[in-house]
A and B are shown apart, each in its own frame.
Chain A
């Protein structure tokens, strides 16, 4: 049983928790201030003045648009691939017990559990050995591999809560496998797949470590950011891009949270 909700928490605990949360959020908020600064040459604080000029300058930058477009395409294709592979894997693991089931979970999690640099250099050396030139597809290959786990985790959790009786009932009542999939299984797991897909998209959209090894000369948005971080050329444009990236990644996270909210809270309570 939970403690009485009226129990007062010690003041020091409150302060420490609030300070921790502030530590996690203030740096991100700072990005929003810097996106409007009039200062061009340094990271001066406080900003000498505010302007909307850099939004326009960034809007007219072809290299930013190209990088953004490449990132969106890579994320979309990788997410699609990860959705298929992750769901298949989750369906197999949750519906039956078989030899090696545990190792499949491990195999799916491994690309994200091992440091990204290992996945990256492994893929790069494999491309080298096999004489595969860098292309759009080499990026996708890497991204889809580590996105599988996000879809898999979401789908497995939902499959566990979906009763197998529903499927048996559907089949007993004469539906064929595709009808069962379309009318019984899909409505049950759709929101979990949507949430998994959004998280996979966010993961791929933001990935930089593996991408530096598999992109060759192409620049995704994170690679563009990385170049600006190492050798700043036009700081105000970087500030604006950083702000846009924060906004773009927040939306899928919030959406994924609301899509899985009811179920996850339930699961957390059952623990």
Chain B
């Protein structure tokens, strides 16, 4: 009798006890209370702002008065897609994002492969921190470092002079499109900085996918007579591809939307981010800026859809 009573404790006393009991009996109530603050925040602050932005792209600007006409129109989109200069900007940005992505994948692969398959213990930790520290260190400081490196009087030109290879640099700079007066004001400069800044975002998912390649597959491949290069192309590469695609989501998306790197290091030709910034700032044309931001959103939506189909999300 007494033991049975002791096993069933009396209801908790006091308002906090009553609340505890209520939450225990009704988990959905607790769930509701847990979810309300973050959902309200993200829903109102973030989604609300995104919708406001989307709405503004359907307004237009009166080019004579410079005021925004708050009525529904597709004129801004028509202006966006019929002006050849705007198309140039979109193509330029997408090409840059694609080449940055490919270059990052090529540079990232040996690091990720070594860290995943050979590094053990202390070396593994070193590789991990070696990728994490540049990933988290200041974005602007990284750009600044490249401004120092690529400067006319900077270390890169100094190295080329010391090695008596400056003619090589001159030859490179005289190339059309990728060359320019100096590296710090060429597409090559912009490209180098982008690769440098986004590289860790490619290494991490690539390493994660490589770590999941079972060793016995590689052994089987070589037992069956494949040369190392054949094993690479037929076994490792297809299995690492989802990781590379997961990494490319970051490198591609971040390059599409960046406006600071091409502004600090690069030719004065605009990228999408810079147009958005200029249109909403000095030009005051918020509708066109809003319409321009839809471009990277649509491209990324399409990219994510393709990545999902190729199984990249399992590698994240």
Contact = CB atoms under 8 A, between A and B. Distances in A.
A23 B200 CA distance: 11
A208 B196 contact: no
B67 interface: no
Interface string B128-152: 1111111011111111111111010
Q: Is the interface of B mostly helix, strand, loop or mixed?
A: helix
B145 A96 contact: no
Nearest to A15: B110
B147 A122 contact: no
B42 A145 contact: yes
B115 A17 contact: yes
B49 A222 contact: no
Interface string B99-121: 00000000110110111011010
A85 B38 contact: yes
A31 B144 contact: yes
B20 A225 contact: no
Which of B9, B23, B115, B130 is packed against the most chain A CB atoms within 10 Å?
A: B130
A88 B296 contact: no
A88 B42 contact: no
A61 interface: no
Chain A residues touching B, range: 35 or more
Contact of A253 (B23, B132, B263): B132
A121 B293 contact: yes
Contacts of B38: 85-86, 88-89, 108, 148
A206 B20 contact: no
A145 B144 contact: no
B27 A96 contact: yes
B149 A27 contact: yes
A62 B37 CA distance: 38
Nearest to A199: B136
A43 interface: yes
A266 interface: no
B277 to A, nearest CB: 7
B110 A225 contact: no
Given A13-B114, A25-B130, A115-B256, A206 B42 contact: no
A229 B140 contact: yes
A31 B24 contact: no
A60 interface: no
A171 B24 CA distance: 9
Which of A13, A20, A85, A107 is packed against the most chain B CB atoms within 10 Å?
A: A20
B20 A171 contact: yes
9 contacts: A25-B133, A45-B153, A92-B34, A92-B35, A107-B47, A115-B296, A116-B257, A225-B141, A249-B136
Closest 5 CB pairs of A and B: A115-B257, A16-B110, A177-B20, A27-B145, A122-B49
Given A114-B300, A178-B16, A212-B277, 9 more contacts: A88-B34, A96-B31, A113-B300, A117-B258, A176-B12, A209-B257, A246-B141, A249-B138, A257-B129
